[in-house]
Amino acid sequence: MAPAQPITDTLIQDSIVKAVQNVSRIMLRQESTLLEATMASAASNSLSSLGTAPYVIGSVGFAGNANGLVYLCFTDEFAKYVAGHILGMSANEIQTHGHEVVKDVIGEITNMTTGGFKNSLCDLGFPCKLSLPTIVRGDRLSISAITSATRGIFRFNCGNYQMMADVQVKI
């Protein structure tokens, strides 16, 4: 199937906003609103705009007629809130079970969001498949751009928290 249209900055933004909002609505039962969008091939990101470290970053890649990565970036506090809300666990229970439970939930949220983004690409004639999620947690994290990829950094408000989606696409 030949692509019906090129992958534009607007298409990337519309697709990731739709994916983040759908997953937020379904999994967190909350609305997410886009606060800021920056499109640039080598845009730098500032995780500090989300709040204080440590941060939890989930990433899922996609490969096929379009290739790239979607990173979802959370403060550790928001990641724990998401895990507790989805699993029906208190903050103390999340603390007791440790980072593995948070890692699993953020991996699933990232996988679902990237899947929604990927489905938009597939619908436009860019079939691709997803990789397994990778999760990192730390105080001094940054995300580098893929050489010659189109990159968009999107900051969302979700309840009392903010999250960032960093989308990189290469045809």
Q: Two tokens at 170?
A: 């290469």
pLDDT tens digits for range 64-97: 999 999 999 999 999 999 999 999 999 999 999 9
Q: What's the whole-model pTM score? A: 0.92
Q: Nearest-5° angle of CA 117, CA 153, CA 139?
A: 110
DSSP string, 113-131: HHHHHHHHHHHTT--EEE-
Task: Give the tens place of pLDDT for each residue, 90-148.
Answer: 999 999 998 899 999 999 999 999 999 999 999 999 999 999 999 999 988 888 888 88
Q: Are 63 and 166 in contact (CB under 8 A)?
A: no
Distance (Å, whole) CA 36 – CA 136? 24
8 Å CB contact between 84 and 94: yes
Domains and CATH numbers, the chain: 46-75+106-170 (3.40.1550.10)
